[in-house]
Amino acid sequence: MERILKHFVRPLSESREAKIGCISEDDLEYLRSIGEYMYQKRSDKREALNSLNVGLKTASRRSELCSEIQRASQDRLANHTTLYAEVDTSNFNEEEIGGLINNSSSWMSNILSGTTDGHLLEKQGARAVGECPFESENTLLFMPILEKWLNSYISQSKHSIAITEFLHSVKDAIQMDGNIQEVIAKHSPENQGKVTYAK
């Protein structure tokens, strides 16, 4: 954990001078925003998503890697029409949570973290899961696509030690979630779903 955090809190000044082939400084900042999100969401998911939203907006204008990962993610999820996301149960007591099933659910954010399989969230200990209508063109990132790219890029490309360690740290942060297969997507807060699981 400390190794991962160390790479996300220091500036990537090494990248400004390193000759790193096709990956750019903007691509590294894109990867940094994802790594920070994966680490920070364990303590404050809402704030982590807000920060990621800002990072992805910047990256969409500057990072070629961001654009490539987004397109590949959209293609991969083209046949999916539903996302499952954890429901915030902080305003409910223990007795009320069980009665949430089939009630409407909403996520008050312009960005949504979800998965195409609600059972994955249940296994991770989510107290409530809601399903949300989904269109693949709203996909910003599908983590398995990025993880696959990282594995390939790390094995095929040569960098400075600092860049290599950084790439491994982002990969480690993604893999901490195990089998969640997280989707990050644009979301309209007016777009409501329904609770499908609560305990």
- Threshold 0.75, pTM exceeds: yes
pLDDT tier at 5 (50, 70, 90 boundaries)?
low
Q: Residue 17 has what pLDDT?
A: 37
Report pLDDT digits (tens) over 99-155. 888 888 888 788 999 999 988 888 888 888 999 999 999 999 999 999 999 988 888
Indicate the domain borders of the chain: 2-198
**Count of alpha carbons within 13 angstroms of residue 142, beta-carbon side:** 21
Other CB atoms within 10 A of residue 189 CB: 11
- The torsion of the CA quartet 149, 154, 156, 159, rounded to 10 degrees, works out to 130
Strand arrangement of the beta sheet that strand 104-105 belongs to: 82-86, 128-133, 193-198, 104-105
> Each residue of 57-94: pLDDT tens digit?
999 999 999 999 999 999 999 999 999 999 888 778 77
Pick 22 or 56 by higher pLDDT.
Answer: 56
- Long-range contacts formed by 53-59: CB under 8 A, 24+ apart: 53/109, 53/110, 53/111, 55/29, 55/30, 56/30, 56/111, 56/140, 56/141, 56/184, 58/29, 58/33, 59/26, 59/29, 59/30, 59/33
- How far CA 56 is from CA of 8, 10, 140, 141, 189, in Å, comes to 16, 19, 8, 9, 18
